[in-house]
Chain A
Amino acid sequence: IVGGQPGNSPWTVSIRNRVGAHFCGGSLVKEQWVISTRQCFSSCDADMAGYEVQLGTLFKDPGPEDPDQQTIPIVRIVCGPSESQLVMLKLARPAALNRRVALICLPPERYVVPEGTICEIAGWGETRGTSDGSVLNVARLPVLSHSECNLALRGRLKESELCTAPLRAGVGACEGDYGGPLACLTADCWVLEGVITPSRVCARTDQPALFIRVSLYVDWIQKVMKM
């Protein structure tokens, strides 16, 4: 996260590859399910042997004595509808919820986040020197209306995308944050409204940032967990 600061986001998980390195983020939407982005994974039927999620710690690479840290293998990947760029990851066992680990709510189907809502991105990705990259960073971004964003992107905005307004200070997600959450505080509850996806440049000051609009895929998410 560029332009953010160390913080707490108990639904944000770190996805680790086979040598145990962090390479993408995710959000805990159910005790045994994490949502992330398709770009982070080689295929929809990839063999996930050796891949894990790490949660319950603020540190990117916690020491062995970190009390709340949980590391859970990923056993299956399910790709979302074609345009969604989403994946669901099934964990080998449910995560234990505690003060460091919480689920994040899903929005109602097709819910549109009101313009100006303050949302938060979180991740262990590249900070470009703006903060301590060894811990979880968070940053707040205001939602931009669909029409205004579509204008800024010269009509190329899709319904499955959600925008946040660019900040002059240069705040945004970056390498290593992809798949992580855009969480919005709604009715005293943090709701997963967006998922971070790769963009050409990090933390642009002149263009809106794009996220996958989760509310468009809530029915698919529920269906996968139910099936």
Chain B
Amino acid sequence: HRSPLNDFQRLRATELLAEPADQPPPPPERGSAEQCARRCAASLACRAFHYDRQSQLCQLLPRTQHSPRVQLQKNTHYDLYQKKDYLRDCIVGDGTSYRGTRATTEKGLHCQHWQATTPHDHRFVPSPRNGLEENYCRNPDRDKRGPWCYTVDPKIRHQSCGIKKCEDDVCMTCNGEDYRGAVDHTESGTECQRWDLQHPHKHPYHPDKYPDKGLDDNYCRNPDSSERPWCYTTDPEREREYCRIRLCKKRPRPLNITTGCFRGKGESYRGRANVTVSGIPCQRWDTQTPHRHHFLPEKYPCKDLQENYCRNPDGSEAPWCFTSRPTVRIAFCFHIRRCPDELAAEECYHGHGEHYRGHVSKTRKGITCQPWAAQTPHVPQISPATHPAAHLEKNYCRNPDDDSHGPWCYTMDPRTPFDYCAIKPCTGSTVPSIMENTDAVAFEQCGRRDERLQRKGR
């Protein structure tokens, strides 16, 4: 049940470019990514492969991003898969499979080239099988201390390179939700299943769906706020299991703590709201009634699960709590005010700001405005050419279309075509009240409802 892709690290939409002079790769072949991985794994010369998901073409490569004279380039047609052993900077087990590029010993001495026999003669002959290359640290004789090398110091024949084991290389804080290390085995030593595969275990944590959880390859992660990083296993009999990862000695200082309001999803909200929006008191975190749960305060030291306060220990949409009502397990605390997330207004405008001629050129979120005459990142429908009298200078905020919500601009953020600016109405600036006149109403096609269904529904 182990996927051959488990030996590879995937870089999405990426191409590995080599210099033309280098040895051209073999012609692409058709097949699935897993078939391609099997082919590359079976070839000592192969260290990576390009996979084109659309055409299902696979091209084996004799190099990785750490090889000389190569560069990575964005390319939406390809995913680049590279053998983990060539990329990892830590070792698994005794490091026999380590193929990284570390070339200095633990005391900082430079390694002697494996080809060379001076200053130290030796019997190791570099070959694709033993992976001896350049002067990189290797473990050709299964030394328990891990990869080592002969040194260029005549007085010191060889020395360990001190490359850490992966479980000790990157430590985790709190519950390991931010852990992005390279451990890919569970506590019992079982290999993890890739997050981008649905076998042997089907699961909801697709990497595309959770881009913020770092669900890379088959590394241990904590996408659901469990106690520690874990993974689905390649053992069909065992769905998931925790991983052994070192806890950092220092606990991180909580950042951006808020009490009177919450920012983003409210993970750093430390206020005292303890009632749900519908008025139901929250259940205390240190009790299991009326609702049993696994968010025990002592298991989540960084989440401040005090009393029965609204908290967001698992990255939900907003602070929430278990309710004291048996029929309602969980409720959000949406009634807690959101912290303002807009820049302080630098200037003010009268009316709708149609005559504003100031120099503010940032949106209320702090994004730089796109020059009115520019065509990227947004092709403007309003420009100096279409509105010559609107004073559309440089990238200053303006209101050429008499937008009732004030000056605005196209933005330099490709995902945000336009937005309003960090300018507010001047005090005393009056705009006709909405209550002063009401219009006749005329509608065309929308808003129709099949009333027959409604009667049947009731």
Chain B 406-419: CB-based contact to A (< 8 A → 1; otherwise 0)? 10000001011111
Chain A 213-227: CB-based contact to B (< 8 A → 1; otherwise 0)? 101110110010011
**In this assembly, does A105 line the interface, its C-beta being within 8 Å of a C-beta of chain B?**
yes
Chain B residues within 8 Å of A17, by CB: 316-317
> Nearest B residue to A43 by beta-carbon distance?
B264
State the CA gap A189–B442 with chains docked (Å). 9
- Distance (Å) between the CB of B110 and the closest chain A CB? 45
Whether A38 touches B338, Cβ cut-off 8 Å, given contacts A129-B327, A174-B278, A202-B279, is yes
Whether A78 touches B416, Cβ cut-off 8 Å, given contacts A104-B446, A200-B335, is yes
Taking residues whose C-beta sits less than 8 angstroms from the other chain, chain A's interface range is: 35 or more
**In this assembly, does A169 line the interface, its C-beta being within 8 Å of a C-beta of chain B?**
no
Taking a contact as CB atoms under 8 Å apart, the answer to whether A175 and B441 are in contact is no
State the CA gap A49–B439 with chains docked (Å). 41
- Distance (Å) between the CB of A224 and the closest chain B CB? 8
State the CA gap A146–B41 with chains docked (Å). 73
Chain A residues within 8 Å of B405, by CB: 81, 84, 217, 219-220
Taking a contact as CB atoms under 8 Å apart, the answer to whether B420 and A42 are in contact is no
Whether A226 touches B278, Cβ cut-off 8 Å, given contacts A126-B328, A159-B434, is no
Chain A residues within 8 Å of B443, by CB: 105, 186-187, 189, 191
Question: Which of B318, B328, B341, B406 is A44 in contact with, Cβ under 8 Å?
Answer: B341
- Give A49-107 interface residues, CB cut-off 8 Å to B: 49-50, 58, 76, 78-79, 81-82, 84, 99, 102-105, 107
Chain A 1-26: CB-based contact to B (< 8 A → 1; otherwise 0)? 01001111111000001111001100
State the CA gap A216–B435 with chains docked (Å). 11
Chain A residues within 8 Å of B446, by CB: 102-105, 189
Chain A residues within 8 Å of B450, by CB: 8, 10, 99
**In this assembly, does B150 line the interface, its C-beta being within 8 Å of a C-beta of chain A?**
no
- Distance (Å) between the CB of A81 and the closest chain B CB? 4
Question: Which of A6, A42, A186 is B265 in contact with, Cβ under 8 Å?
Answer: A42
> Nearest B residue to A198 by beta-carbon distance?
B334
Question: Which of A76, A108, A198 is B335 in contact with, Cβ under 8 Å?
Answer: A198
Taking a contact as CB atoms under 8 Å apart, the answer to whether A23 and B457 are in contact is no
**In this assembly, does B388 line the interface, its C-beta being within 8 Å of a C-beta of chain A?**
no
Interface segment out of the listed B124-132, B181-189, B204-212, B296-304: B204-212
- Distance (Å) between the CB of B198 and the closest chain A CB? 16
State the CA gap A9–B453 with chains docked (Å). 10
- Distance (Å) between the CB of A99 and the closest chain B CB? 5
Taking a contact as CB atoms under 8 Å apart, the answer to whether B449 and A102 are in contact is yes
- Distance (Å) between the CB of B61 and the closest chain A CB? 30
**In this assembly, does A116 line the interface, its C-beta being within 8 Å of a C-beta of chain B?**
no
- Distance (Å) between the CB of B314 and the closest chain A CB? 10
State the CA gap A84–B417 with chains docked (Å). 19
State the CA gap A223–B418 with chains docked (Å). 9
Question: Which of B278, B317, B365, B419 is A175 in contact with, Cβ under 8 Å?
Answer: B278
Whether A6 touches B457, Cβ cut-off 8 Å, given contacts A175-B276, A202-B277, is yes
State the CA gap A198–B273 with chains docked (Å). 15
- Distance (Å) between the CB of B263 and the closest chain A CB? 8
Chain B residues within 8 Å of A206, by CB: none
- Give A151-166 interface residues, CB cut-off 8 Å to B: 159
State the CA gap A81–B419 with chains docked (Å). 8
State the CA gap A190–B446 with chains docked (Å). 8
- Give A177-227 interface residues, CB cut-off 8 Å to B: 178, 183, 186-187, 189-191, 198-202, 213, 215-217, 219-220, 223, 226-227
State the CA gap A19–B316 with chains docked (Å). 10
> Nearest B residue to A99 by beta-carbon distance?
B450
Whether A42 touches B317, Cβ cut-off 8 Å, given contacts A108-B441, A226-B381, is yes
- Distance (Å) between the CB of B105 and the closest chain A CB? 43
Question: Which of A40, A44, A112 is B435 in contact with, Cβ under 8 Å?
Answer: A112
State the CA gap A102–B439 with chains docked (Å). 25
Using a CB–CB cutoff of 8 Å, the interface residues on chain B facing chain A are 204, 206, 208-212, 264-265, 276-279, 316-318, 327-328, 331-332, 334-335, 338, 341-342, 364-365, 381, 401, 403-406, 413, 415-420, 433-435, 438-439, 441-443, 446-450, 453-454, 457-458
List 10 additional A-B contacts (Cβ < 8 Å) besides A82-B420, A186-B441: A38-B338, A40-B317, A42-B265, A79-B419, A102-B446, A174-B278, A175-B334, A183-B447, A201-B278, A219-B403
Mind listing 23 A-B residue pairs with CB under 8 Å?
Answer: A6-B457, A6-B458, A8-B453, A10-B450, A40-B334, A42-B318, A43-B341, A44-B341, A47-B212, A99-B450, A102-B448, A108-B439, A110-B434, A110-B439, A126-B331, A175-B331, A186-B441, A186-B443, A189-B443, A198-B335, A215-B434, A219-B403, A227-B381
